[in-house]
Structure 1
Amino acid sequence: MTKPVVRPVTPMFSSGPCAKRPGWTTAALDDALVGRSHRSKPGKAKLLKAIEDTRKILKVPADYKIGIVPASDTGAVEMALWSLLGPRPIDMLAWESFGSGWVADVVKQLKLKDVRKLEAGYGAISDLAAVDKTHDVVFTWNGTTSGVRVPNGDWIADDREGLTICDATSAAFAMDLPWSKLDGTTFSWQKVLGGEAAHGMIILSPRAVERLTTYSPPWPMPKIFRMTSGGKLSEGIFKGETINTPSMICVEDYLDALAWAETVGGLDGLIARSEANLAVLEAWVAKSAWAGFLAEDKAIRSCTSVCLKVTDPWVDTLNDEGKAAVAKKLADMLDKEGVAYDIGAYRDAPPGLRIWAGATVEAADLEALLPWLDWAYAEVKAQLATAA
């Protein structure tokens, strides 16, 4: 094939940290409250605005609590697991790397015994109908490393007795999260809105708050996980009084991303942008002679972390090492050409490509990328075939 001429304007297709919003420059950080305490009046005001703007964009109910917490989405999920789990049996849903990680934490670190593991392989999803409404349930809304998302929240009972703990880090701001179905929800800034790392968000329903204030876990609670004091909710956490010191530069960047989200139509506009990006990739895959989706079922296919596999029958003639080499050479070639950075599959996932299609990615850049994917595959196939 002839090497394409048109290149993506922004070749950032990493699944985290993700592309900055269109038009972003460091000027967006000019009003950052650097050199000031986050506990100062203006510092608290910035943090509270981040919480309030999050509530507005995500359409979070007024009686839900939103807090900025340490250690990105990982810290937020761990805070929820360590603080909320224990009094009920638990259903752990896992169909990719991060969901499996939460299973390991609950079973091996917290050492909880009454745990059911509802697992599925990459490209598939757990049996959602098997979830017991009397159990707490822990799941990822969108499997970042597998490109698989839950299709909706219909499987979560309205009259559930247990809590739902949802890792929504690559779903928030790109998918419709039904808040009435969610009790403890987490995400990080560096995903759909392209914010900077290290800060997590935790959103608690009134039912989750009730659990926090009526149940004390039997294990020692690290300071950065504590959301109560003396049996009462630490309300300050949900008003911008963070447990540890946040980066006010990152806060400013998040505020800028939230302001941009407003300009594209808020949550509905963000969802539409991400779904339109997925549609670009779906149209290409439908005609491709060599690429397919890891999530073959469209109903569970992610519109953010789109995972591709090589379906060319030629690849089936290769051993596992050879299949992995095809995917790696593809990603490396595209990176070297400067047309797509960081799109190799996650290290624990099957060999392939992972292209971020969240709301900060422009559809035109995806359109420009597609001929490069075809060119790179033809080059890699020719090289490996010749070597063989």
Structure 2
Amino acid sequence: MALAATPELRPANPDFSSGPCAKRPGFSLDALNGALLGRSHRAREPKAKLAEVIERSRAILGMPADWRLGIVPASDTGAVEMALWSLLGARPVDILAFESFSEAWATDVAKQLKLADARVLKAPYGRLPDLAQVNPAHDLVLAWNGTTSGVRLPDADFIAADRDGLVICDATSAAFAMDLPWDKLDVVTWSWQKVLGGEAAHGMLALSPRAVERLLTHKPAWPLPKIFRLTSGGKLSEGIFKGETINTPSMLCVEDALDGLRWAEAVGGLPGLIARSEANLAAVAAWVAGSDWAGFLAEDAVTRSCTSICLKITAPWFAALDAAGQAGAAKQIAALLERERIAYDIASYRDAPPGLRIWGGATVETSDIAALLPWLDWAHAQVRAQYAQQAAE
């Protein structure tokens, strides 16, 4: 069997991980020279830097003026859990579950918070649940973009403008790469390490006036750990939304986050960031259209993510393998690309169908995506030949 020729062009940056994600183009550690290391985050200057992260984020995302935004611990996971534990229980809740993390939120609501009136609307990898089943009288928990499935919501038409429930949106792989419909959402969360390539462990929590009202009028039936508490003495802890974080942040990571935000402004703000991510998806889509072995995991084109671009292997030799064989073959393709220093960390998520996952967020150059694609053909041909030889022996 003839093997594909080794491509001549290599990606300038082989970082295609879905988190932590590639640093912005041109990044060097010199960008962090202004970090206020060894300072208390509650001192005037460090606190001002934390507030600057909040204000620059608000401005780039076009967040409504009456929303509150704060920096919280434990990345996007901490922000989502804070919202779930603090806000749910006042009315029935629907959860859209169509990939690993949204499945985790469903598990937390049903098994940890033990809400008997929780309803999980499920869909297999590659699809969205039946959005027509969402009840506007219920609270709603969703991921705007499925980081492990490459499936995103195309719009918010299914969310009623006059809804009674709150909408809690995990936007960690959507924020800064997709246009979020703020009027249809009440809680939005994300982390620094996705679209802007920041460092890990810090989350962002945005609350609408309706969410704040719920915080002030609803007392959960369970005790809240200190790290989740957004109110004190029946009042909102306003300091959280002015840079007074609940726990100690890394001022080195804060400086890095500011560097990413300044870069985002320099490339045209949200429209520029969206354009960069969509260009990456378009490059992969053009390649997939001509591929005889790869396809999108997302079945409907309008739901395909421009950040976590998930591919399945459609070749007959791969389909003939059992589940364990498919998982092993996909991992071999990813490992071969890593060994050649072409692409790091592009194996599909451990709970997802075997395949590849290429991060296409705004910090990834489309030229690097274009350089990667012929290498995918090359790696697939290598592994296919290996399996063909094994079958012949």
- TM-score band w.r.t. shorter chain: over 0.9
Report SS of the residue matched to 1:88.
coil
1:172 is matched by which residue type in structure 2? A
Query: SS in structure 2 opposite 1:324?
Result: helix
2:158 aligned counterpart, secondary structure: coil
Amino acid at match of 1:50: V
Matches within 5 A, 1:1-388: 1-388=4-391
**What is the CA–CA distance in structure 2 between the aligned matches of 1:244 and 1:173, rounded to whole Å?**
25
Whole-Å separation in 2 of the counterparts to 1:149 and 1:316? 26
Shift of 1:99: 0.3
CA shift digits 1:31-67 (9 cap, x unpaired):
0010100000001100000000000000001100000
Q: 1:121, CA displacement in angstroms?
A: 0.2
Distance in 1 separating the partners of 2:369 and 2:65: 37
Q: CA RMSD in A?
A: 0.6
Deviations 1:189-234 (A, max 9, x none): 0000000000000000000000000111111110010000111100
User: 1:353 aligns to what SS in structure 2?
Assistant: strand
* 1:384 shift after superposition: 1.0
Unmatched 5+ residue regions in structure 2?
Answer: none
What is the CA–CA distance in structure 2 between the aligned matches of 1:13 and 1:363, rounded to whole Å? 12
- Aligned AA (2:67): Y
Once the two structures are TM-superposed, the CA of residue 313 in structure 1 deviates from its matched residue by 1.6
Q: Secondary structure at the match of 2:384?
A: helix
Report the Cα distance in structure 1 between the residues aligned to 2:310 and 2:257, rounded to whole angstroms.
26
Cα offset for 1:146? Answer: 0.2
- Distance across 2 between alignment mates of 1:168 and 1:261: 17
SS in 1 for 2:358: strand
Q: Structure 2: how far apart are the matches of 1:240 and 1:47?
A: 5
After TM superposition, which residue ranges in structure 1, 4 or more long, deviate above 4 angstroms?
none
**The residue matched to 1:166 in structure 2 has which SS?**
strand
Counterpart of 2:367, as a letter, is A
Instruction: In structure 2, give the amino acid aligned to 1:360.
Output: T
Q: Percent identity?
A: 69
CA–CA distance in structure 1, aligned partners of residues 359 and 319 of structure 2: 26
* 1:319 CA drift (Å): 1.5
Distance apart, 1:318 and its partner CA = 1.5
Give the TM-score normalised by structure 1: 0.99
* Unmatched runs of 5 consecutive residues or more in structure 1: none
- Measured after TM superposition, the shift of residue 267 of structure 1 is 0.3
Output one character per residue of 1:100-137: Cα deviation in whole Å (capped at 9) or x when no partner: 00011011111111011100000001111110000000
Instruction: Give how far 1:240 is off.
Output: 0.2
Number of residues of Structure 1 aligned to a counterpart in Structure 2: 388
> Matched residues in 2 for 1:229 and 1:290: separation?
57
